[in-house]
Chains A and B, each alone.
Chain A
Amino acid sequence: MTAPDPVVAQEAIEYCYEQGWTDGLPVVPASRPLVDEFLARTSRAPEEVIGRVEQLDRECTVEQAAISAAMAGCRPEYFPVVLAAWDALMLDRAARGGGWQSTSGPSPMLVVNGPVRQELGFNSTGGVFGPGFRPNATVPRAIGLMVRNAFGIHPHVLEQATQGLPGRWQICFGENEEESPWEPLSVSAGLGDGVSAVTAMLLRTVEYVDNRHTQDHEQVLWDLADTMSRTGALIFREASYGLVLGPEHAQLLAKNGMSKQDVQAWMIEHVGRTGRDLRRAGKSAGEKHVRGASESTDGDDEFQRFLPSPRHVPVVVAGSRNAAMSMVVRVFGEWSGKAVAVEGTA
């Protein structure tokens, strides 16, 4: 193969910048033959509408998704995962509504389950929130380019994130099913074991919990709950916090007889703050479901639980078994509770 002409490649990349199509990083200029390779990976028609923002009168088709996936640097075989991720996101009420325009600047978190992880090389172990793996990096980027280009939601214009979440279009990983003591997230979300699937939720923040010097599982639970009980990200009366448990934490909990459901129940019971703490943070009262300030000391001694149901505490296992660390992820709105199977896989 003759080495390609870098000057032509650079011109094509600059052309995409000039059109306003990029997220700030260079994109792969999408050609007809390349996009056709993506479209060949799905049985869905190119003109099928897979998402619509009613308020903007814009929609996204399978063809536009394929162009965005190509531009994001996906390989054609990733395309069914991109479509499943998009469908999973469209189950989210905020993503169908104004979530992409929100001042909170939420990021999708995409969790991949099943054999497709190995087939495509998704990272599910060390550094799952970090860079270095093409599918993990390019699948969520494709979603960001679809929002930008198909929906026309650009920063500083229709997208009004005050600060946004670091890694806004970069959070995608495989669940470490091999080292998880529990059933995969996709199975909790209603699909069969061994089915390749994507689960999606929107995040407002991500915070690590480093607890590697105890064998007391209750201490670990308290540490996780304390991080989940912060007032900063609390805006509504109720909240949703996911746990991305490192394998060591998950295995410690399981060794002490806890199922995933037990962990969720423990968090529902213990995650919250006193009325006094909430009053100090200006979040003790509020109209309707939004929290606001109040001078009243009524209820100061009352412990307010934040998590109303197990679906508000999704639990997934990812990362390496080399230190006992986990991540608390603050879910924006509410997880749909449903996973979407990847087309054409087991």
Chain B
Amino acid sequence: MVEAILDPTGGRRAVAQGAAVLTPNRLKLAGATIGLLENTKKNAAPFLAELGRLLVERHGAAGVVARTKAAFAMPIPEEQLAELARTCDAVITGVGDCGSCSASAVADGIAFERHGIPAAVICSDAFIVTADAMAGMRDATGYRYVVTPHPVAVLGPDEVRKRAEEALDDVVAILTSVAS
């Protein structure tokens, strides 16, 4: 009798195939409250704060709710997701600039979208493969996120603000429109 070679993966590929699932409820920025979920990585908080400021100043957002994700490598806890979903009309999260935090930022973005909240994930271009792989694992291949050049951690305050400004159009496009 010929024996089969056993599969060590439990029958799962590293990356599943799937389709991007965004909430169809895209956002009108005027009057919206924007959640800023920083992940404790260096420069993440000022990067998101500047995006929030620009959305208020240039797009009429009403204000921001700033929160910190305690464990950058892990998905957002249910309670924190529920709280942000309850108090905000959209969420910006990141910055994904490490192996685990880029993946988990994308997982969070997808979780928000599936909760009916538009979300823009900021991820460094060094981690596109990881971010895309996570989207695949969450059955959301093709998930759109905002790419900022690597590195982020080393930037000074003025450079962070410039970076946020450069990312602004992509953030607005993701939060307000379903089309890619």
Contact = CB atoms under 8 A, between A and B. Distances in A.
Interface string B47-80: 0000000000000000000000001111100000
Interface stretch (B1-9, B28-36, B85-93, B168-176): B1-9
Contacts of B100: 55, 97-99, 101-102
Interface residues of B, number: 34
5 tightest A-B CB contacts, nearest first: A98-B100, A98-B73, A160-B99, A149-B8, A101-B99
A288 interface: yes
Interface in A108-152: 145-146, 149-150, 152
Nearest to A105: B99
Contacts of B103: 55-56, 98, 101, 158
A55 B129 contact: no
B10 A64 contact: yes
B74 A101 contact: no
A157 B129 CA distance: 6
Nearest to A67: B8
A294 to B, nearest CB: 12
Interface stretch (A16-24, A75-83, A263-271, A298-306): A16-24
16 contacts: A15-B5, A32-B6, A56-B137, A61-B10, A64-B8, A67-B8, A97-B73, A98-B72, A98-B74, A98-B100, A103-B99, A149-B9, A152-B9, A156-B129, A160-B98, A287-B42
Contacts of A156: 129
Given A55-B73, A102-B99, 16 more contacts: A54-B74, A56-B137, A59-B10, A67-B8, A98-B74, A98-B100, A101-B130, A103-B98, A145-B8, A150-B8, A152-B12, A152-B137, A157-B129, A157-B130, A158-B134, A160-B127
A83 to B, nearest CB: 15
Interface of B: 3-10, 12-15, 40, 42, 71-75, 98-104, 107, 127, 129-130, 133-134, 137-138
B159 to A, nearest CB: 14
Nearest to A32: B3
Interface in A24-82: 29-33, 35, 54-59, 61, 64, 67-68, 70-71
Contacts, number: 110
A299 B15 CA distance: 49
A97 B74 contact: yes
A159 interface: yes
Contact of B4 (A16, A32, A61, A150): A32
Interface residues on A, range: 35 or more
A290 B74 contact: no
Contacts of A101: 73, 99-100, 103, 130
A19 B7 contact: yes
A57 B104 CA distance: 11
Q: Which of B3, B8, B98, B129 has the most CB of A within 10 A?
A: B8
Contacts of A168: none
Contacts of B134: 56, 158
Contact of A55 (B10, B12, B40, B74): B74
Contacts of B3: 31-33
A161 interface: yes
A157 B14 contact: yes
Given A20-B14, A158-B134, A98 B101 contact: yes
